[in-house]
Amino acid sequence: MAEMTMVPVEGRPFSGGLVPLDNMQYVRCRFENVMFVYSGGPWDFVDCQFVGACGLTLNGSANWTDLLLKRMAKEFGLLLPGSGSPGWKTN
């Protein structure tokens, strides 16, 4: 599999609107009231600032992974990160 090259973005302010995460490396950027869009690719933040209400929307494979984990949590008792205990719950 070929190594994915990330696109560097340095010192840029973002205010409002959609900001893609896939294959992006944000360095010393400022994000204010943005909606990050993630589809499953690599991403990186280095020394960035986040101000106001920043959110995340999932597309493509990231959305399908989210749906899978939620369904597994409901159907099989999978404990999701941040739910109190890591790993699989056993009956």
Written as six digits, the tokens of 59 are 């597309």
Cα 10 to Cα 7, 14, 27, 72, 82, distances in angstroms = 10, 11, 5, 39, 31
pLDDT tens track for 31-74: 999 999 999 999 999 999 999 999 999 999 898 888 888 888 78
Q: What mean pLDDT do residues 10-38 have? A: 97
Q: What mean pLDDT do residues 69-81 have? A: 75
Spatial distance between the Cα atoms of 31 and 67, rounded to a whole number of angstroms: 27
Q: What mean pLDDT do residues 16-30 have? A: 97
| pLDDT exceeds cutoff 80 at 4 | no
| pLDDT exceeds cutoff 70 at 83 | no
Supply the pLDDT for residue 65. Answer: 86
Q: Is pTM beyond 0.85 here?
A: no
Spatial CB neighbours of 66, under 8 Å, sequence gap ≥ 6: 58
Written as six digits, the tokens of 4 are 């994915």
